[in-house]
């Protein structure tokens, strides 16, 4: 039902966008140089830009939500943590959505890369062209189509293959018992963490920061990882609570929920720390090539991105900080659900603010197209997760640390 409603809403949004200005030519500005009014790069705007931008936004958002399942399992294996074993199958199910997202990301890049990424214009690198841009030309060694496609494909292949390995070991452990598969999983988890230490940052540069090609932030990799991570934690929490309410995962106690609440609370603060460190340093230094990103949000495009900017900050810091502050709140299902939904919605706005100004400029907004696209991707994600949960026992009965998880208690 959600998928069908999403398709109808997207179709309606496309019709409204096409009939409202599909044959007009507009310009979308990108940050480009020392002054806001000088050296500004443009590409022609078409109503389909908004469609592709929404596909890209949701693909990147749900890519992060998916890969964080593997990240969560990996650092729990590395720490030899036992508390999370009771609901281990939930984060284990999330990365199954990665192949679909990988296909979508590559398809959008090939079909609409020039509409979304200004650096794909060959004239920018031709010194004889009036469009020649020395700043973008200087990044051509990294931002070129063949190398970009190789990197993107590599991200999804590495993440998915390592997940398939750890998933296979987990299922074999259910059949055979012992500790062999546990230690194999631990080794795979360590390999993934090394890979993800690099690819979490480089993928953030490729997926999001390269949209505004001139702008850069040395903290952007950490910033995106923090956003993905807390989103994944919120989704894990919501899934655990949904299963528990339906009579599954009864071994999950208030102590497990308490720890999940602490994770959401702590990493919401960590995201805010990285967000503030990035914003404060750029604001204080006041360098035009850095401040342009925020000037586009605050004073560019008619100020349409101001509200999403402050909604982002409110839902991702103020709201979870106040809601999850007390011990009782972290042990109460309904409060955890409210906080988790706030985080899930808030970090959608986080990616919205980072992606939309550079792709659609003043043509952004929230309408049938945006809501429909969220429904389509969310429906696919829910289907993927629950189809994986159906394929294995929700309790990893032969996991060597299951007994520790069953007696996990926080007083």
267 and 236 Cβ atoms separated by less than 8 Å:
no
Q: What is the pLDDT of residue 325?
A: 95
Cβ contact 70:391 at 8 Å: no
- For position 21, what pLDDT does the model report? 54
Checking if the pLDDT of 111 tops 50, the result is: yes
Question: pLDDT: is 68 or 43 the higher one?
Answer: 68
Neighbours of 182 (CB within 10 A): 19
**Contact call for residues 28 and 49 (beta carbons, < 8 A):** yes
- The percentage of the chain sitting over the pLDDT mark of 90, rounded to a whole number, equals 79
- Work out the end-to-end distance of the chain between its first and last CA atoms, rounded to an integer number of angstroms: 43
Considering only CA atoms, which of 223, 218, 221, 208 is closest in space to residue 358?
208
What SS3 class is residue 246?
coil
Residue 402 pLDDT > 70, yes or no?
yes
Task: Provide the pLDDT for residue 45.
Answer: 75
Instruction: Find the mean pLDDT for residues 90-109.
Output: 97
Contact 111/124 with Cβ under 8 angstroms?
A: no
Label residue 38 by pLDDT band (50, 70, 90). Answer: very low
Supply φ then ψ for residue 45, to 5 degrees: -95, 135
Q: How does the average pLDDT of the chain come out, rounded?
A: 91
Cross-strand bridge partners of residue 252: none
Q: Alpha-carbon distance 322 to 360, whole Å?
A: 34
* % of the chain exceeding 70 in pLDDT: 94
6: which residues sit within 8 A by CB, 6+ positions away? 371, 372, 373, 374, 375, 376, 379
Tens digit of each residue's pLDDT (9 = 90 or more) over 332-388: 999 999 999 999 999 999 999 999 999 998 888 899 999 999 999 999 999 999 999
Is a pLDDT exceeding 90 seen at residue 19? Answer: no
* Residue 31: per-residue pLDDT: 43
**Global confidence as pTM:** 0.93
pLDDT(122) > 80: yes
Query: Band of the pLDDT at 23, cuts 50, 70, 90?
Result: very low
Cα(115)–Cα(28) distance, integer angstroms = 10
390, pLDDT greater than 80: yes
Structural contact between residues 250 and 396, judged by C-beta atoms closer than 8 angstroms: no
- 3-state class of 26 per DSSP? strand
Tokens in use for 53?
């931008």
Which pLDDT belongs to residue 28?
Answer: 53
Question: What's the average model confidence in pLDDT over 67-77?
Answer: 97
Q: What does the DSSP 8-state code read for residue 318?
A: I
| Cα dihedral 390/394/398/403 (nearest 10) | 180
Inform me whether the pLDDT recorded for 39 exceeds 50. Answer: no
Task: Quick: pLDDT tens for 274-311.
Answer: 999 999 999 898 888 788 888 888 888 888 999 999 99
Q: What is the pLDDT of residues 152-196, one digit of tens each?
A: 999 999 999 999 999 999 999 999 988 999 999 999 999 999 999
pLDDT tier at 41, thresholds 50, 70, 90: very low
Question: Helix, strand, or coil here: 30?
Answer: strand
The answer to whether 294 touches 283, Cβ cutoff 8 Å, is yes
390 CB burial (10 A radius; 0-12, 13-18, 19+): exposed
Q: pLDDT at position 25, please?
A: 40
Q: What number is the average pLDDT over the span 235-256? A: 95
The two tokens of residue 381 are 């994600």
Helix boundaries (H) for 79-132: 89-93, 98-116
Q: Residue 219 pLDDT more than 60?
A: yes
pLDDT value for 340: 97
How far, in Å, CA of 80 to CA of 86, rounded?
A: 14
């Amino acid at each position: 039902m959600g998928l069908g409603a999403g398709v109808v809403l997207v179709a309606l949004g496309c019709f409204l966008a096409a009939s409202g200005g599909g044959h007009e030519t507009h310009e979308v500005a990108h940050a480009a140089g020392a002054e806001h009014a000088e050296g500004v790069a443009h590409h022609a705007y078409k109503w389909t830009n908004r469609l592709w931008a929404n596909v890209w936004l949701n693909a990147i958002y749900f890519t992060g939500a998916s890969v964080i399942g593997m990240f969560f399992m990996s650092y729990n294996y590395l720490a030899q943590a036992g508390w999370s074993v009771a609901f281990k199958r939930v984060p284990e199910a999330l990365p199954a959505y990665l192949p679909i997202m990988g296909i979508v990301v590559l398809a959008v890049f090939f079909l609409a890369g020039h509409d979304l990424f200004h650096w794909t214009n060959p004239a920018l690198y031709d010194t004889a062209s009036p469009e020649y841009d020395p700043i973008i030309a200087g990044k051509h060694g990294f931002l070129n189509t063949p190398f970009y496609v190789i990197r993107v494909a590599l991200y999804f292949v590495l993440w998915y293959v390592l997940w398939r390995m750890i998933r296979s070991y987990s299922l074999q452990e259910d059949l055979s018992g012992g500790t062999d598969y546990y230690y194999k999983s631990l080794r795979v988890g360590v390999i993934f963490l090394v890979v993800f230490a690099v690819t979490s940052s480089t993928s953030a540069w490729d997926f999001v920061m390269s949209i505004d090609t001139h702008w850069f932030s040395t903290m952007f990799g950490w910033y995106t990882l923090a956003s993905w991570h807390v989103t994944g934690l919120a989704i894990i929490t919501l899934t655990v609570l949904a299963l528990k309410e339906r009579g599954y995962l009864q071994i999950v106690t208030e102590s497990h929920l308490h720890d999940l609440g602490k994770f959401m609370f702590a990493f919401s603060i960590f995201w805010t720390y990285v967000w503030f460190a990035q914003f404060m340093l750029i604001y204080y230094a006041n360098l035009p090539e850095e401040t342009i990103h925020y000037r586009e949000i605050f004073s560019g495009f008619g100020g349409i991105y101001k509200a999403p900017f402050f909604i982002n900050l409110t839902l991702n810091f103020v709201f979870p900080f106040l809601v999850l502050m007390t011990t009782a709140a972290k042990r109460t299902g309904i409060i955890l659900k409210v906080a988790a939904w706030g985080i899930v919605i808030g970090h959608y706005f986080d990616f919205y603010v980072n992606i939309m100004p550079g792709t659609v400029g003043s043509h952004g907004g929230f309408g049938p197209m945006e809501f429909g696209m969220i429904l389509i991707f969310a429906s696919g994600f829910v289907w993927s997760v629950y189809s994986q949960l159906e394929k294995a026992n929700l309790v990893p009965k032969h996991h060597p640390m299951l007994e520790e998880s069953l007696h996990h208690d926080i007083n």
